[in-house]
A and B are shown apart, each in its own frame.
Chain A
Amino acid sequence: MDGRNFKEKVVEMKNITKMFGDFKANDNINLTVHKGEVHALLGENGAGKTTLMNVLYGLYQPTSGEIYIKGKKVNVENPNVAIENGIGMVHQHFMLVEPFTVAENIILGMETTKGIGVLDRDKAIEDVEKLSEQYGLYVDPNAKIQDITVGMQQRVEILKALYRGADILILDEPTAVLTPQEIEDLIKIIKNLTNEGKTVIIITHKLKEIKQVADYCTIIRRGKYIDTVKVSETTEEELASKMVGREVSFKVDKEERETGDTVLKIDNLVVRDNRNIKAVDGLSLEVKSGEILGIAGVDGNGQSELIEAITGLREVESGKVYFNSKDITNKTPREIIDSGISTIPEDRQKRGLVLEFTIAENTVLENYDREPFSRKGILNENKIKEYAKDLIKKFDVRPNNEKIKAKALSGGNQQKVIIAREVSNDPDLLIAAQPTRGLDVGAIEFVHKSLVEQRDKNKAVLLVSLELDEVLNVSDRIAVIYEGKIVDIIDAEEADEKTLGLLMAGRGGKRNEN
Chain B
Amino acid sequence: MKTKLKLKEKLFSGNLGFTLFSIVIGFVVGAIVLLIAGFNPLEAYSVMISGVFSRPKYISWTIIYATPIIITGLSVAFAFRTGLFNIGAEGQYIIGSLVATAIGYFLKLPPVIHFIFVFITAALAAGLWGAIAGYLKAKFGVHEVIATIMLNWIALYLNNYFVMLEGFKRPQSETSYEIQNTASITILENWKYSDVGREWLSNYPILKDILAAPVNLGFLIAILLAILVWYILNKTTLGYELRAVGFNRHAAEYGGINVEKSMVISMFIAGALAGIAGALQVTGVTKSVAILAAMEGYGFDGIAVSLIGSNTAFGSIFSGLLFGMLKYGGPKIQPFLRAPSEVVNIVIGTIVFFVAIPKFIRMLGSLMNKKRGEKNVG
Q: Decide if B237 touches A365 in the complex (CB within 8 Å).
A: no
A residues near B251, Cβ cutoff 8 Å: 350-354, 365
Confirm or deny: B378 has a beta carbon within 8 angstroms of a beta carbon on chain A. yes
The residue on B at minimum CB distance from A94 is: B376
Q: Closest approach, in angstroms, between the C-beta of A380 and any C-beta of chain B? A: 10
Known: A356-B247, A437-B378. A345 touches B240 (CB 8 A): no
Task: Point out residues on A near B: beta carbons under 8 Å.
Answer: 92-93, 311, 313, 332-334, 337-338, 343, 345, 347, 349-357, 361, 365-366, 368-369, 374, 377-379, 381, 437-438
Q: Are B248 and A356 closer than 8 Å at their CB atoms?
A: yes
Are B378 and A378 in contact (CB-based, < 8 A)? no
Q: Does B254 contact A (CB under 8 A)?
A: yes
Are A355 and B254 in touch, CB under 8 angstroms? no
- Contact, CB under 8 Å: A379 / B235: yes
Q: B338: CB under 8 A from chain A?
A: no
Q: A333-B253, A379-B235, A379-B236 are in contact. Are A354 and B244 (CB under 8 A)?
A: yes
How many interface residues does B have (CB within 8 Å)? 26
Q: B237 near A369 (CB under 8 angstroms)?
A: yes
How would residues 38 to 81 of chain B score, 1 for a CB under 8 Å from any chain A CB and 0 otherwise? 00000000000000000000000000000000000000000000
Question: In the bound complex, do residue A333 and residue B378 qualify as a contact, i.e. CB atoms below 8 Å apart?
Answer: no
B378 engages A337 (CB within 8 Å): no
- Chain A residue numbers with a CB within 8 Å of B240 are 361, 368, 379
A347 x B378 contact (CB < 8 A): yes
In the complex, which residue of chain B has the Cβ closest to the Cβ of A346? B378
| A interface footprint on B253-283 (CB within 8 Å = 1, 0 otherwise) | 1111110000000000000000000000000
Q: Is the CB of A93 within 8 A of B376?
A: yes
CB < 8 Å neighbour of B237 from A347, A378, A437: A378
B248: A residues at CB distance < 8 A: 350, 353-356
User: When the two chains form their complex, are residues A333 and B256 in contact, meaning their CB atoms are under 8 A apart?
Assistant: yes
In the bound assembly, the distance between CA atoms of A92 and B244 in angstroms comes to 28
Interface string of B226-250 (1 = CB under 8 A from A): 0000000001111111011001101
B180 to chain A, nearest CB (A): 36
A349 with B373: CB separation less than 8 A: yes
Question: Which B residue sits closest to A373, measured CB to CB?
Answer: B237
Residue B252 interfacial (CB < 8 Å): yes
A351 to B254, CA, bound (A): 6
Q: Complex Cα distance A80/B199, Å?
A: 79
- How far is B248's CA from A345's CA once the two chains are assembled, in angstroms? 14
CB of B374 within 8 Å of the partner chain: yes
Does A343 contact B378, Cβ atoms closer than 8 Å?
Answer: no
**Is B377 an interface position by the 8 A CB rule?**
yes
Considering only residues 284-303 of chain B, those with a C-beta below 8 Å from chain A are none
- Give the contacting residue for A352; candidates B247, B254, B257; CB below 8 A: B254
A378 to B236, CA, bound (A): 4
Contact A343 B256 (CB under 8 A): no
Query: In angstroms, how far is the closest chain B Cβ from the Cβ of A95?
Result: 11
Chain A residues closer than 8 Å to B252, beta-carbon distance: 354, 365
Residue of B whose beta carbon sits closest to that of A335: B256
Bound: A354/B257 CA distance, A: 12
- CB-CB < 8 A to B372: which residues of A? 93
List the A side residues contacting B250 at CB < 8 Å.
350-351
Q: List 14 extra interface pairs beyond A350-B374, A356-B248, A366-B255, CB under 8 A.
A: A332-B258, A333-B256, A347-B378, A349-B374, A349-B378, A350-B377, A351-B254, A354-B243, A354-B251, A365-B244, A365-B255, A368-B240, A379-B235, A379-B236
Shortest distance from the beta carbon of B378 to any chain A beta carbon, whole Å: 6
Kindly state the separation between the CA atoms of A357 and B258 in the bound complex, as whole angstroms.
18
Closest-by-CB residue of A relative to B9 is A21
A93–B374 CA distance with the chains assembled, in angstroms: 12
- Would B254 and A313 count as touching, CB distance under 8 A? yes
B239 — which chain A residues lie within 8 A by C-beta?
Answer: 379
Cα–Cα, bound, A377→B164 (Å): 44
Considering the complex, give the chain B residue whose CB is closest to the CB of A352: B251
| Contact partners of A347 in chain B: CB under 8 A | 377-378
Inter-chain contacts of A350 with B (CB < 8 A): 248, 250-251, 374, 377
- Option from B236, B243, B377 in Cβ contact (under 8 Å) with A349: B377
Query: How far, in angstroms, from A337 to B257 measured CA to CA in the complex?
Result: 11
Instruction: Tell me the bound Cα distance from A378 to B233 in angstroms.
Output: 11
**Which residues of A lie under 8 Å from residue B376 when comparing CB positions?**
92-93
Q: How far is the CA of A161 from the CA of B95 in the complex (A)?
A: 59
Compute how far the CA of A281 lies from the CA of B248 in the bound complex, rounded to whole angstroms.
30
Contacts of A374 in B (CB 8 A): 236-237
Q: Which of A338, A352, A354, A378 has the most CB of B within 10 A?
A: A354
Q: A311-B254, A350-B251, A351-B250 are in contact. Are A368 and B377 (CB under 8 A)?
A: no
Decide: A379 and B237 in contact? CB cutoff 8 A: yes
Chain A min CB distance to B250 (Å): 5
User: Is B256 within 8 A of A334, CB to CB?
Assistant: yes
Cβ contacts A to B, 27 pairs, < 8 Å: A93-B376, A332-B256, A332-B258, A333-B253, A333-B255, A333-B256, A334-B256, A337-B255, A337-B256, A349-B374, A349-B377, A350-B250, A351-B251, A354-B251, A356-B248, A357-B243, A357-B247, A365-B255, A366-B255, A366-B256, A368-B241, A374-B236, A377-B237, A377-B238, A378-B235, A379-B235, A438-B378
Which A residues are in CB contact (< 8 Å) with B241?
368-369
User: Chain B nearest CB: distance from A232 CB in Å?
Assistant: 32
Q: For the complex formed, measure the closest distance between the CB of B265 and the CB atoms of chain A, giving whole angstroms.
A: 12
Interface contact A354-B247, CB-CB below 8 Å? yes
Q: How far is the CA of A338 from the CA of B258 in the complex (A)?
A: 14
Q: Which of B247, B372, B378 has the most CB of A within 10 A?
A: B378
Which residues on B sit within 8 Å (CB–CB) of A356? 247-248
Q: Taking the nearest CB of chain B, how far is it from the CB of A457, in angstroms?
A: 23
**Cβ–Cβ < 8 Å partners of A333 in chain B:** 253-256
* Shortest Cβ distance from residue A269 to the other chain B in the assembled complex, whole angstroms: 20
Flag if B373 contacts A377 (CB, 8 Å): no
B378 touches A357 (CB 8 A): no
Q: Give chain B nearest CB distance to A392 CB in angstroms.
A: 19
